[in-house]
Structure 1
Amino acid sequence: MSPPTACAFCQSHATQLCAGCRSVVYCSREHQKEHWKRGHKRECKCFELSSNETLGRHLRATRDIKMGEQIMREAPLVVGPKVASVPLCLGCHKNLLPPAKPAQNYYKCSACTWPLCSAECEQSPYHLAECRLMAGSNFECKINYKAAEQEHKESAYCVIMLLRCVQLKLESPAAFARLYELEDHLKERLETPLYQVLRANLITFIKTVLGLNNCSELEILRIAAILDTNAFELRQLGGCVKVRGLYPGAAMFAHDCVPNMRHRFDDDMNIVFLAKRPIAKGEVLSISYTQPLRSTIQRRVHLKQVKCFDCACARCEDPTELGTFAGAHVCGKCKVGKIISMDPLQLAANWKCEVCNLKRSAKEFLTQDAKIEQELESLDKTTPLSLEDFLYRHRVELHETNTHILQAKYALTQLYGHATGFAMDELSEKSLKRKVELCEELLEISNLFDGGWSIFRGNLLIELQETVLAQALSLENASECEAKLKQAAELLQEISNIMNNEPEMQQLLAERRQMLDAAMARYAVGAE
């Protein structure tokens, strides 16, 4: 289809294409602004809502999308504590620090007695309405420092976000309608032990303690299920804020175990979506609710438990997991083939060797796999030694790209250069080389599972760049040093591209540039 040639505002000849939707043109910047005010803001997007039996409602690209392009920015409809949370302020949502003296307690709201940062947060727009309700019902919050300690999670916070959703029904019916049309999976959730507890706690608090009768018991439970199905975990200020946010537009992104999108949160708690790779017109826009290094079994079980759906994406359907065999073990009989599921979308399916056809029952295989997973989880993660020992002991039964091996290797990339006794300036030449090998192996895997400008790939590149720079500074040969410095510079440029939209990473990037510039200058001086 040919691009339009008439200004969307005045219909005169125009060539300035709208950068957002690329479906209209303007003759001037002024007319673009006027057209935006007249309603184009609602229409200016590069995706459309679609629906099918497999994915339900989802978003598809209406044009080709460039890597790194921002696709959506959305403010939260509701924000609040997670179901179980460390003590936090209901005004600014920051984690509460322990009082200066052990005998002291948290600052308590003078009206409703919930812990807050200070009197200033009593007037927060997040807290005012709920405060009036709870204070009017003579509710008294029992959270205190002595009982909670600093890291203890309080289940009492489970009522707050739900209460804020219930208040939407009174204060903003249109916003509540957007919330209430989201998927809930309530039928599956009602059968879980968690919902048996929530059913009693939430309904008692909303209807009995607060006396709110504008929501039925079913509505209360459905709201809780909507939050569990659609809310995003929101982190800010270096981890000082850890809450949940509900974003109806963002909830329309499909899940895929090899997604093409990533998201972050800005200082105003808006969720922002970026394309991790080029996306063709017509492609489904997807994000992932799982970790990329986990196997199909691990991912699908997690998604079923947390999000109540069975993933059937291309990676999950493939018994080889895109050629990585992440969930497979080496065959104990032929010692060559890998034992893979005969139907990866069925947990009860048998497993067989791809070479000698040895078969194992699902129960037998999964029991063995679970034992290895538990062993890995129980290891001391403060030192590389136990993880290296794990890799050595399982070198025969687990191949190089098995999920347990990959997860151990990723943990090692974080320990070499950071763990006590293994700081970057303490690493031997052998350990530096080991870290480079680990990062490069995982980057190859990331290109399959979480490629492009993904945060996972960016974090691996950060570890690799620092290590390559350390190697360069340890070399005496000028040409070898120059080659390493050039590689470190190329890696830093790629990291900058990936992390360009992550404000919390800018200081680290600036420090890395200074270190690299100093190293370059030192080499240049030595060459003279």
Structure 2
Amino acid sequence: MSLSTTTVEKRLLATAEHLNAPNKSQPTSVPWVHPHLEQGVVPIKGRQLRASQPIRQGELLMIDVPYALIPVVDDPASSDSLLCSNPTCSRQTQHGSGRMSCPSRCLADVVWCNSTCQEADELRHEFECTWLQRYAAPIRAKWGEYDFGMMWLIVRILASRHMERQQLSDTENQTNQRFKGGWDAIQSFCGSLDSWAHSQVRSWTALVKKYLRSSPVLPHDLSADEIVALICREEANSFGLYPRETGVYPVPEPPVDRGEQFAAAVYPRAAIANHSCSPNIMHKPDHHGRMVFTASRDIAAGEECCISYFDLSKRVDLKSRRDHLQGLFRFVCGCDRCSAEEPSEKESNWVGLPFLE
């Protein structure tokens, strides 16, 4: 019997909140990983998460801190879902609550919940501010919201890399030797030029050459080819952030969807999880943009720990699920559920016969 959505959400929030720093307004930026969760590598999938010992339903498995995060809202001026740009905060800011905008007015989507967060984020935002002033409006007008969001997320990844190099520390990686953190983790993401259609790679290459080259506007010291490769990895590994859990399975009746996306982010450790259409992990962001994994059923020792890459209440039949995954993530799902739902050879042959009159 599965936990109800309400029960799981309460437990998820409680376990996430106990890892907050003593200062309740700011969470700890240190990730947390269950001691029985380990990495593995398999020939077809590449990296995977698996249980080294049995894990019980409802146990917290991971809390990961985003390496880069952007808000995704339709009307930033009136939105109550706009996130604080300080990456150590990232909480939702309320319209009319005194949130702070960029003094240079680079982008309406860039806000901080208070002056303290704005001051703490000054150096990181300085990296992106000129780029946003120059390119945000023309990119949105010519290429649309999706491509702008993708490029802005890349810029924020580069900003985090810049800050990491400036600080000359490896504190995050030392936190948990079993799982890479920081720029090293981003570089180890799956996803290469060969994973995507040539037309898509050509389009990204054109965007990089026009908007993302290393320059005084965006001083990152990577080649255009390296930025294209970074986009290939980001597009295969970024997370959409939604207000309710992703991966509730079996889907409750009546179905409850995960709500409207309010942000997108890249997580160094959470990206290791592979997809299953019958996942044993649910994931949901907490109130500070951290991604929280929790076991949705008992997991046996040696079993792979999988999430769902999409809202299972929206795509139910085999064809819809496989088409979606192949279109966005470039693989044909062969999870236990999909394999079990494949038509038998006899049924496939019958479907292929012409109708008789």
Give the TM-score normalised by the residue count of structure 2.
0.64
CA contact 1:109–1:116 (8 Å) conserved in 2: no
Match runs of 1:444-455 below 5 Å: none
Residues of 2 paired with 1:161 and 1:312: CA distance? 30
Q: Which residue of 1 aligns with 2:153?
A: 161
Q: Which residue of 2 aligns with 1:132?
A: 126
1:234-281 Cα deviation digits (max 9, x unpaired): 134997871112112111222111111111111121111111111111
CA contact 1:115–1:143 (8 Å) conserved in 2: no
**Counterpart AA for 2:43:** E
CA contact 1:87–1:96 (8 Å) conserved in 2: no
1:309 and 2:331 are equivalent in the alignment: yes
Aligned mate of 1:178, from 172, 185, 201: 185
Aligned length: 277
Aligned mate of 1:255, from 270, 275, 279: 275
Match runs of 1:32-47 below 5 Å: 45-47=35-37
Work out which of the two has the higher radius of gyration on C-alpha atoms and give 1 or 2. 1
Match runs of 1:234-249 below 5 Å: 234-236=241-243, 242-249=262-269
1:285: Cα distance to partner?
A: 0.7
Aligned mate of 1:218, from 215, 225, 230: 225
- What secondary structure is seen at the aligned counterpart in 1 of 2:277? coil
**Counterpart AA for 1:169:** R
- What secondary structure is seen at the aligned counterpart in 2 of 1:50? strand
Q: Percent identity?
A: 21
Q: Which residue of 1 aligns with 2:238?
A: 231
Aligned mate of 1:187, from 175, 182, 194: 194
CA contact 1:254–1:287 (8 Å) conserved in 2: yes
CA contact 2:83–2:112 (8 Å) conserved in 1: no
Structure 1: runs of 5+ lacking an equivalent: 1-40, 99-106, 322-339, 344-349, 365-528
**Counterpart AA for 1:352:** N
**Counterpart AA for 1:52:** V
Q: Which residue of 2 aligns with 1:282?
A: 302
Residues of 2 paired with 1:231 and 1:352: CA distance? 39
1:342 and 2:341 are equivalent in the alignment: no
- What secondary structure is seen at the aligned counterpart in 1 of 2:264? strand
Aligned mate of 1:86, from 36, 52, 74: 74
- What secondary structure is seen at the aligned counterpart in 1 of 2:334? coil
Q: Which residue of 1 aligns with 2:24?
A: none
Structure 2: runs of 5+ lacking an equivalent: 1-30, 77-81, 171-181, 245-257
Q: Which residue of 2 aligns with 1:482?
A: none
Residues of 1 paired with 2:240 and 2:293: CA distance? 14
Q: Which residue of 1 aligns with 2:59?
A: 69
Q: 1 or 2 for the larger relative contact order (CA 8 Å, sep ≥6)?
A: 2
**Counterpart AA for 2:263:** V
Q: Which residue of 2 aligns with 1:472?
A: none
Q: Which residue of 2 aligns with 1:54?
A: 44
- What secondary structure is seen at the aligned counterpart in 2 of 1:45? coil
**Counterpart AA for 2:60:** Q
| Further displaced range: 238-247 or 54-63 | 238-247
Closer, same or farther in 2 for the Cα pair 1:270/1:108, shift >3 Å? closer
Higher helix fraction (1 or 2)? 1
Give the TM-score normalised by the residue count of structure 1.
0.45
Q: Which residue of 2 aligns with 1:525?
A: none
| Root-mean-square deviation over aligned CA pairs | 3.9
Q: Which residue of 1 aligns with 2:11?
A: none
CA contact 2:67–2:160 (8 Å) conserved in 1: no
CA contact 2:124–2:160 (8 Å) conserved in 1: no
Residues of 2 paired with 1:171 and 1:264: CA distance? 27
1:182: Cα distance to partner?
A: 0.8
Closer, same or farther in 2 for the Cα pair 1:232/1:176, shift >3 Å? same
1:352 and 2:349 are equivalent in the alignment: yes
**Counterpart AA for 2:204:** L
Residues of 2 paired with 1:266 and 1:253: CA distance? 18
Match runs of 1:295-334 below 5 Å: 295-318=317-340, 320=341
1:130: Cα distance to partner?
A: 5.6
1:112: Cα distance to partner?
A: 4.9
CA contact 2:127–2:159 (8 Å) conserved in 1: no
1:230: Cα distance to partner?
A: 1.0
CA contact 1:259–1:288 (8 Å) conserved in 2: yes
